[in-house]
Amino acid sequence: MCNHDHSAPALPPEGLSRRGVLAGATALAGITLASVAAQLGNAPAAHAGEQPAAPSYHGRPATPGAVVIEGGTIVDPLTGDAIADGVLVLDGGKVTAVGTRDATRKAVADVAGRAQVLNAAGRWVVPGLVDVHVHANALADTRLILQGGATSVRSGSSSFYQDVALAGLPAWAPGATPRMRPAGLFVSPELGDSVLADPDLAPLAALRNGIVDPADLAYLTRVNLSRGAEVIKTRANPRAGLAEQDPRELVYDVDQLSAIVHAARGAGVLCHAYSAEGIDGAVRAGVRSIEHGVFVTEATIAEMAGRGTFFTPTMDAITSMARSANPVLAARGAEYTPVIQAAVRAAHEAGVTVVAGTDSFGTDVTPLGTEVRLLTEAGLSPLEALRSATTHAARLLGWEGKAGRLVAGGFADAVIVDADPLADGTALEKVRAVVAQGTVVRNDA
């Protein structure tokens, strides 16, 4: 549950080094040579790629080796089709072949002798999962996310740009972290200690009423983008997971949220929102996705469907409050659970795209398969719930055709599970092996 305080704005002066700011983020994220090596364990070494990923660096990014997954039933979430006794060939960080044994024979021969082979007989093979709402601040966090099968993620913000630092790792150390869309700092009235993340945030420290003026909101948004954020996270309401806060109180209205969306210049804005007024204002401001969205109304659902606004209900984060030892949170969880389940059903029936996000924070990681199961319990079919964590999520993150499907040229991300995800809503909780960026990061076979 997102019950932590991760509240973290003219463009920064040209003389301030982005590298200097992010060096601190790298240290805070625990990114060292030793930690990356430990995370990758015994994974085969990648070889040098052809194109540099960092324009000022003399070296070249890594290119992963080959992996063959054979014998399993390969599932395509887009079509709902499955290939029995299929073969998946991954090489150079991409899918090079997928299909029957006969159809993939040449591709398998091309990597013979250098590929790591995984036997998936009796199991199912799905694309690497996509979690659209996580708070990963360190390598320890990303390792747990990967173990659950999420190979691509969208950050829900970090405190000191750690997500921006982590997002740079896959090109240089495949398998160390999921592929990530970083959000940088939370655009929220109170930055807290996050004001220390960047000298260009100093002007905001003295604002008596916090960051509420549209001009200041736009400034913070532009600072985030200048530091490498690819999406922007903001809010309409306080947190439900903090007993002392009222999640229906309005924090930012439609005009304030519009200033953020405009300053984001096309970068997708995800908005934490609970109240009917907050959700509606965020949708009308043009945010890309609504996070949580418990008290969304029928009218706002219709507006979301018309605008193409995505819905991330974070089922586990909300329903798990019912098990809290805090009586206020337990009461909220009991009240909110049937409401969010009904909201998911209504949104789906109206044509709103529902996507899977766990709202995991730090090492308190909910496997994405659990979120998928909860979406089926709310009324989605197993196939539609699978899509929420694959094809739908990939489209939201701008990786359509690369993530979320196992197709030639797509990302070399795959998960082996012990049950049929087309028929069993719990299947994605039964992870057996995970391949991220062409590197085997989990293998319990």
The DSSP code sequence of 80-132 is --EEEEEEEEEETTEEEEEE-TTTTHHHHHHTTTTEEEEE-TTSEEEEPEEEE
Given a cut of 80, is residue 21 above it in pLDDT? no
Given a cut of 70, is residue 5 above it in pLDDT? no
**Confidence at residue 6, expressed as pLDDT on a 0 to 100 scale:** 42
Q: What is the 3-state secondary structure (H, E, C) of 246-290?
A: CCCCCCCCHHHHHHHHHHCCCCCEEEEECCHHHHHHHHHHCCCEE
Given a cut of 90, is residue 59 above it in pLDDT? no
Paired residues of 211 in beta bridges: none
Confidence of residue 223 (pLDDT cuts 50, 70, 90): very high
Gap between the Cα atoms of 326 and 234, Å rounded: 26
For 262-302, what is each residue's pLDDT tens digit?
Answer: 999 999 999 999 999 999 999 999 999 999 999 999 999 99
In this structure, what are the phi and psi dihedrals at residue 283, rounded to the nearest 5 degrees? -65, -45
For 377-428, what is each residue's pLDDT tens digit?
Answer: 999 999 999 999 999 999 999 999 999 999 999 999 999 999 999 999 999 9
More confident of the two residues 216 and 26: 216
Gap between the Cα atoms of 303 and 282, Å rounded: 11
- 17, 56 Cβ separation under 8 angstroms: no
In this structure, what are the phi and psi dihedrals at residue 105, rounded to the nearest 5 degrees? -55, -45
Smallest CA-to-CA distance from 301 within 347, 341, 338 is with 347
Non-local CB neighbours of 34 within 8 Å, separated by 6+ positions? none
Non-local CB neighbours of 403 within 8 Å, separated by 6+ positions? 127, 128, 130, 151, 152, 179, 390, 393, 394, 397, 410, 411, 413
Given a cut of 90, is residue 1 above it in pLDDT? no
Gap between the Cα atoms of 68 and 192, Å rounded: 48
- 84, 77 Cβ separation under 8 angstroms: no
For 246-259, what is each residue's pLDDT tens digit?
Answer: 999 999 999 999 99
Confidence of residue 40 (pLDDT cuts 50, 70, 90): low
- 355, 392 Cβ separation under 8 angstroms: yes
In 3-state terms, what secondary structure has residue 162?
helix
Cα 30 → chain centroid: 20
For 358-382, what is each residue's pLDDT tens digit?
Answer: 999 999 999 999 999 999 999 999 9
- 272, 233 Cβ separation under 8 angstroms: yes
For 313-354, what is each residue's pLDDT tens digit?
Answer: 999 999 999 999 999 999 999 999 999 999 999 999 999 999
Give whole-number Cα distances, 338 to 245, 302, 322, 355, in Å.
21, 20, 11, 18
Going from the N-terminus, what domains does the chain have, and what CATH number goes with each?
129-403 (3.20.20.140)
Smallest CA-to-CA distance from 405 within 46, 123, 173, 82 is with 82
Give the length of the chain.
445
Gap between the Cα atoms of 63 and 385, Å rounded: 32
- 363, 144 Cβ separation under 8 angstroms: yes
Strands 414-417 and 124-127 turn out to be: antiparallel
